[in-house]
Structure 1
């Protein structure tokens, strides 16, 4: 397998492949005072009411099911291997921190409740295991100690750290009140942010490395190159106030790959960057929960065009449905990494198992609002009795195989809430892009942003 293709399949298959559809773990310490279950399908909702409902219900994953000690997001609603209920995820927590801001602004919870939960998370991270300032992928949500993600992945995970801090920097711009709780949130986020040694993760080369372990050193040897979900890692590495990378690391490392440029047409739509047909749709979601792609461009690409065209190709493929799977069509589309009837898989037009992942179309609202709304209405009104649950939509389903997941994943639920909100109000984009450090980082990399100019 080519190293470039392994790059994006690594996260999707190396560890999760045996995380199958087990019975959900029991949530602990539920607080349902402000969030009422809506399991019965409600008819005659307006578009705005439906969007409200989906954001509110999906948020329950982070609010009700968050770890009772740390407040961190659990990896998934069913057990991850034999680790039990204690596994929490750093990247998914970053998404959850942003979802909590949305919940406060939408009045699902109060601002005080949002700040208290965020402070719990920040206080936990302040004492948790970190390595040269970077956090591991998985931790024990009670103790803060590393839980090994794969045989040699028991230390720093730079990509998960970047997903986490995309959320924390957004929170730092949001919690600006002059009180002890919000002041402590801001201060601890700043101190942790300043301590991440991004440039150390280059090994004095012009490329970032994904992992480092105190037990296994650099043995995973995984460079961050090519177009995929890791764009935000380079942006934050350039934005660091104390340990920033040079522009050459971005140019010679990230953009110097045979999977970076594309420029070909797929189903009549030009794809500027990335794998043929675009790969799974999370490439256009994870880095852009805070990073505003509108008017974001450099000499390589217009990133809104990149993400929109990637989504349009994914949609067009599902409509064409070359494998003739049951259930695919104009109202039921979206291929991205999720659980499937065979285990976890990186669904895309080139790895199509007949599984639709609701997060794919719903997190694409900023790029394809008309197509995403059609999918949302179909998922809720037509399939809701099979895929609508206490935590929103399930992780995936296949009408072809009569399979409907009973699982939810933090990294799939979070983007639904956040990207719908960015479509509706641009809230998270405005907050993240207002960070002075982010502005400096983008400028350093030669990335223009009309959001910053405005």
Structure 2
């Protein structure tokens, strides 16, 4: 079944291109997952720990793999079950050597033991991405077999175990995270961000939900701007305009803020995509390669080389960073997975961009498309200009997960259909003040 996409002509060559990109991305989870506990590596680099958010993307990707014929249903169910059993039985003691606390989980876990690494925080947003994956798997695997029944029961139990109210440490606002060494982190969610998924899941909980004041307190910090002729809810990096949309179909549904602006979050992301391209066309900082067919700044890997002279100034390079437009940071690094993940919003500009980027021949061009980022401006001292752009080493699980989910939402709308029927998502959206569109016609849970 094809998704509703009347505004763009998708050729058979486009379909084949998207299939190749999506299938390669799906392979990441098969190649870099631990079959014993279901954890998935944050990156393909050696000795990478697991990111709980990447596990959430994997759980959401397995249904896509079944639909596309890339993995047998029984194998997909087993992969989901192994992960859900691990999290259900994991140490929730909140110690420096445990896995989580209050139903949330540490951001990074050891691939084998499943215990905290890097002295990282209990992460609210990464736990939300993990839980979204659990609910997506539960919504897809609905057969009455013992395995699929257990899968659904575990997913719902894990979601119900989360104490969302605990995360409202100072009242309405939700904190970013918590560490056993120092308690709650000293900052919360302010300004529009990917946390919209977190709030919807927290408000939809049947056990210990966020209070309804939480979403209003957060949205009160929004920043509405006009950039390059586009009125939109500002956030610089592309991923902010994408992540929550992997699971929630925001087309035609509006909260109080969007009703006042006569907009919705889907249309907002479409405008943000055009802002990104316009920034690259104008290229105010004169980076190499930026144009109408090469754009896309988001969170991801970048070069860590010495500062260099660019257009008469000393330009620093930031390594891993959340790049954004038009205010930066920007060091010339482009993310092709970030472009692909904008496909549902603006296929009329994304498809031509992908055609151009993929038309380049050679192994380096293929790597640049699949990697977290590439940079044609940065040069190492011993790297000649003719050798091509800097390209990030390996692949990142979050990038590959977004490619799988957002391409699928464009091609069939699978994840959107699954989560539109999820009673917890419906409840969370309604408690956040959303109404209209499909939400008004959905059966009340």
TM range (shorter): 0.7 to 0.9
Q: How far did 1:453 drift? A: 3.3
Establish whether residue 188 from structure 1 lines up as the match of residue 151 from structure 2: no
CA distance in 1: counterparts of 2:68 and 2:358, whole angstroms? 21
After superposition, give the CA deviation of every residue in 1:240-283 in whole Å (9 maximum; x if it has no partner).
0011112111112x1232xx132x32111112x23xxx310000
Q: What corresponds to 2:366 in structure 1?
A: 388
Matched, 1:65 2:32: yes
TM-fit CA distance, 1:159: 0.9
Instruction: Rate the CA distance shift 1:387–1:94 in 2: closer, same or farther, 3 A.
Output: farther
User: In the alignment, what sits opposite 1:91?
Assistant: 53
Deviation track 1:161-207 (CA, whole Å, cap 9, x = no partner) reads 10111111111110101111111111111111101000111125011
Asked if the contact 2:35/2:82 (under 8 Å) is kept, the reply is no
RMSD over equivalenced CA pairs, Å: 1.8
Of 58-67 and 380-389, more deviation after overlay is shown by: 380-389
2:426 matched to 1:439?
yes
Cα displacement (A) at 1:213:
2.9
Matched pairs, number: 392
Equivalent in the alignment of 1:303: 265
Residue aligning to 2:280: 318
CA distance in 1, matches of 2:194, 2:342: 14
1:34 match: none
Spell out, residue by residue over 1:344-364, the C-alpha distance to the aligned partner (whole angstroms, 9 max, x if none).
Answer: 121222222111101111000
Do structure 1's residue 198 and structure 2's residue 164 form an aligned pair? yes
Q: Do the aligned residues in 1 keep the contact of 2:191 with 2:219 (CA within 8 Å)?
A: yes
The aligned residue for residue 30 of structure 1 is none
Residue 94 of structure 1 contacts residue 165 of structure 1 at CA under 8 Å; is this kept in 2? yes
- Find the aligned partners of 1:321 and 1:181 in 2 and give their Cα distance: 53
Residues 222-301 of structure 1 correspond to what in structure 2 (within 5 A)?
A: 222-252=187-217, 254-257=218-221, 260-262=222-224, 264-271=225-232, 273-274=233-234, 278-301=235-258
Alignment pair present for 1:143 and 2:113? yes
- SS of 2:61's equivalent in the other structure is helix
Q: Take 2:358 and 2:34, find their aligned partners in 1: how far apart are those partners? A: 28
2:96 is matched with which residue?
Answer: none
Pairing partner for 1:52 from 2, 10, 19: 19
Is residue 362–residue 375 contact of structure 1 (8 Å, CA) maintained in 2?
A: no
After the TM superposition, which parts of structure 1 deviate over 4 Å for at least 4 consecutive aligned residues? none
- Which is worse superposed, 283-292 or 64-73? 64-73
CA distance in 1, matches of 2:273, 2:247: 18
Deviations 1:17-58 (A, max 9, x none): xxxxxxxxxxxxxxxxxxxxxxxxxxx971111111111011
Describe how 1:126-141 pairs up with structure 2 within 5 A. 126-128=88-90, 129-141=99-111
Give me the TM-score of the superposition, normalised by structure 2.
Answer: 0.84
Are positions 1:213 and 2:179 aligned together? yes
User: What displacement does 1:215 show?
Assistant: 3.3
Q: Counterpart of 1:212 in 2: which secondary structure?
A: strand
| Counterpart mapping for 1:274-423 below 5 A | 274=234, 278-301=235-258, 302-342=264-304, 343-349=319-325, 350-382=328-360, 385-389=363-367, 393-401=370-378, 402-423=389-410
Structure 1 regions of 5+ residues with no counterpart?
A: 1-43
Does the 8 A contact of 1:294 with 1:449 survive in 2? no
Superposition pairs for residues 157-168 of structure 1, below 5 Å? 157-168=123-134
Is the Cα–Cα contact under 8 Å of residues 339 and 395 in structure 1 kept in the other structure?
yes
User: Could you tell me which residue of structure 2 aligns to residue 26 of structure 1?
Assistant: none
Q: How far did residue 133 of structure 1 move?
A: 0.8
Structure 2 counterpart SS, 1:270? strand
Change (3 A) 1:45 1:323: farther
Tell me the distance in 2 between the aligned counterparts of 1:373 and 1:284. Answer: 18
Quick one: distance in 2 between partners of 1:383 and 1:69?
39
Once residues 315 and 249 of structure 1 are traced to their aligned partners in structure 2, the CA distance between those partners, rounded to angstroms, is 34
Secondary structure, in 3 states, of the residue corresponding to 2:148? helix
- C-alpha distance in 1 between matches for 2:152 and 2:400: 25
Distance 1:365 1:393 in 2: 16
Q: Distance in 2 between matches of 1:318 and 1:241?
A: 45
Distance 1:335 1:157 in 2: 24
* Residue ranges of structure 2 left out of the alignment (5+ in a row): 1-10, 91-98, 259-263, 305-318, 379-388
Q: Distance in 1 between matches of 2:253 and 2:111?
A: 36
* Closer/same/farther in 2, CA of residues 321 and 384 from structure 1, 3 Å limit: farther
Distance 2:111 2:419 in 1: 26
* Counterparts in 2 of 1:450 and 1:326: CA distance versus 1, 3 Å: same
Scaled by the length of structure 1, the TM-score of the pair is 0.83
Closer/same/farther in 2, CA of residues 384 and 113 from structure 1, 3 Å limit:
farther
Aligned to 1:123: 85
Distance in 1 between residues matched to 2:271 and 2:119, nearest whole Å: 33
The offset of 1:113, in angstroms, is 1.6
